[in-house]
Chain A
Amino acid sequence: GENVEQHPSTLSVQEGDSAVIKCTYSDSASNYFPWYKQELGKRPQLIIDIRSNVGEKKDQRIAVTLNKTAKHFSLHITETQPEDSAVYFCAAHAGGAQKLVFGQGTRLTINP
């Protein structure tokens, strides 16, 4: 079945620096790749997503890139702020399966 690997599991960066989280997926039929941010005790919230027919998408300080050939996608956060501290999950969705397969999560800490 589909498998998603996410790295790193923890990431600590200085405020103002950039953070990059990477994921690889196994199912070439996957066509939708969302990223979720989960703060302690709260629900996962969608922060950005990308579909398989697009290579890159940007929303203010957040960007996602997708390499379909290599089956990997990455989250880039620039000019990090303390409120970016959270656990981030990548996921892959195969349309036929109607489910999300999640990576194991990355705990991002922004140091002031």
Chain B
Amino acid sequence: KAGVTQTPRYLIKTRGQQVTLSCSPISGHRSVSWYQQTPGQGLQFLFEYFSETQRNKGNFPGRFSGRQFSNSRSEMNVSTLELGDSALYLCASSQGTGRSGYTFGSGTRLTVV
């Protein structure tokens, strides 16, 4: 079956702009969670969506937001980009029941200049 698809793979944005990233989970998976990966902070949890509802949110400013659609695809948005937002953004797909593992997408590499 198809894996987790993230688009785009690479993005270069200017400070102050906003960006939208997309994640399509494995077919049948209803949970999508997002993580930020940086060399200094490692993998940090952003938020998790299940059946179009945000169930949990990490410690990130309100500039980071997300949503999930009825087909389980999810988007995350970062507004007013800062240099420190440069990172690899990974989404993870799971059944969301706590009984299955998490499968990661290849990520979107965001560079803010």
**Chain A interface (Cβ < 8 Å from any Cβ of B):** 31-32, 34, 36, 42-46, 49, 89, 91, 93, 95, 97-105
The answer to whether A89 touches B98 (Cβ under 8 A) is no
In the complex formed, the residue of A with least CB distance to B105 is A43
Q: A99, B90: Cβ atoms under 8 Å?
A: no
| Min distance, Cβ A84 to any Cβ of chain B, angstroms | 19
A43 and B107 alpha carbons, distance in the complex (Å): 7
Question: Could you list 20 further interchain pairs (A-B, Cβ under 8 angstroms) beyond the known A98-B56, A105-B42?
Answer: A42-B106, A43-B104, A44-B104, A45-B104, A49-B101, A89-B42, A89-B43, A93-B98, A98-B33, A98-B50, A98-B55, A98-B96, A99-B33, A99-B48, A99-B56, A100-B33, A100-B35, A100-B43, A102-B35, A103-B42
* A98 touches which of B43, B98, B101 (Cβ 8 Å): B98
Q: B98 touching A44 by the CB < 8 A rule?
A: no
A-side interface mostly: strand
Contact with A along B100-111 (1 / 0, CB 8 A): 011111110000
Q: Which of B45, B106, B107 is A100 in contact with, Cβ under 8 Å?
A: B45
CB-defined contacts of A49 to chain B, threshold 8 Å: 101
Give the residues in chain A near B48, CB-CB below 8 Å. Answer: 98-99
Interface centre among A34, A98, A101 (most CB of B within 10 A): A98
Quick check: is B31 within 8 A (CB to CB) of the other chain?
yes
Measured in the bound complex, the distance between the Cα atoms of B96 and A43 in whole Å is: 20
The interface residues of chain B lying within 8 Å CB-to-CB of A36 are: 104
**Given A43-B90, A43-B106, A95-B98 in contact, is the A102-B56 Cβ separation under 8 Å?**
no
